[in-house]
Amino acid sequence: MLQHKSIRAPRGREISCKGWQQEAALRMLMNNLDPDVAEAPDQLIVYGGTGKAARSWPDFERIVAALRRLENDETLLVQSGRAVGVIKTHADAPRVLISNSMLVPKWATWDEFRRLEALGLTMFGQMTAGSWIYIGSQGIVQGTYETFAACAKRHFGGSLRGKLVVSGGLGGMGGAQPLAATMNDAVFLGADVDAARIEKRMKSRYIDKMTDNLDEAIRWARDAVAQQQALSIGWVGNIVDLLAELSRREITPEVLTDQTSAHDPLHGYVPNGMAYEAALALRESDPQRYARESYRTMAEHVALMLELQRRGAITFDYGNNLRGHAREAVERGFADAETLRGSVGLAKSAAATHSAPQNSTGFDPFKIPGFVPEYIRPLFCEGSGPFRWAALSGEPRDIAVTDEAVLATFPEEAALCRWIRMAGERIAFQGLPARICWLKYGQRAKMGLIFNRLVREGRVSAPLVIGRDHLDCGSVASPNRETEGMLDGSDAIADWPILNALSNTACGATWVSVHHGGGVGIGYSIHAGQVIVCDGTPEADRRIERVLTADPGLGVMRHADAGYELAQRVAREKNVDLARGE
Indicate the SS3 state at residue 273.
coil
To the nearest 10°, report the CA torsion of 70, 71, 73, 76.
0
Q: Which long-range contacts (CB under 8 A, 24 or more apart) does 408-416 make?
A: 409/446, 409/447, 409/450, 410/443, 415/149
* Spatial distance between the Cα atoms of 288 and 300, rounded to a whole number of angstroms: 19
* HSE of 101, CA atoms in CB hemisphere, 13 A: 33
* Alpha-carbon torsion (391, 148, 270, 289), positive or negative: negative
Q: How would you label 53-76 residue by residue, b for 16+ Cβ within 10 Å and e otherwise?
A: bbbebebbebbbebbeebeeebbb
Burial status of residue 461 (CB atoms within 10 A of its CB: 0-12, 13-18, 19 or more) = middle
Among residues 151, 437, 473, 534, which one is catalytic?
A: 437
Of the candidates 115, 322, 133, the residue with the CA atom closest to the CA atom of residue 239: 322
- Residue 330: what are its φ and ψ, rounded to 5°? -70, -45
Asked if 411 and 485 touch (Cβ cutoff 8 Å), the reply is no
Asked if 146 and 376 touch (Cβ cutoff 8 Å), the reply is yes
Of the candidates 377, 247, 349, the residue with the CA atom closest to the CA atom of residue 300: 247
Of the candidates 182, 218, 309, the residue with the CA atom closest to the CA atom of residue 256: 309
Inter-CA distances, 167 with 96, 103, 170, 485, 582, Å: 37, 32, 9, 23, 48
* Spatial distance between the Cα atoms of 21 and 543, rounded to a whole number of angstroms: 12
Q: Is 417 a known active-site residue?
A: no
* Alpha-carbon torsion (384, 390, 396, 402), positive or negative: negative
Inter-CA distances, 185 with 150, 165, 224, 225, 341, Å: 13, 10, 11, 10, 35
Indicate the SS3 state at residue 234.
strand
Q: How would you label 99-114 residue by residue, b for 16+ Cβ within 10 Å and e otherwise?
A: bbbebeeeebebebbb
Provide the residue type at 440 as one letter. K
Q: Which residues pair with 423 in a beta bridge?
A: none
Alpha-carbon Rg for the chain in angstroms: 23
The DSSP annotation for 418-458 comes to: HHHHHHHHHPPP-SS-EEEEEE-TTHHHHHHHHHHHHHHTT
The number of beta carbons lying within 10 Å of the beta carbon of residue 401 is: 16
Helices (H) and strands (E) in the chain, counts: 20, 17
Residues annotated as catalytic are: 437
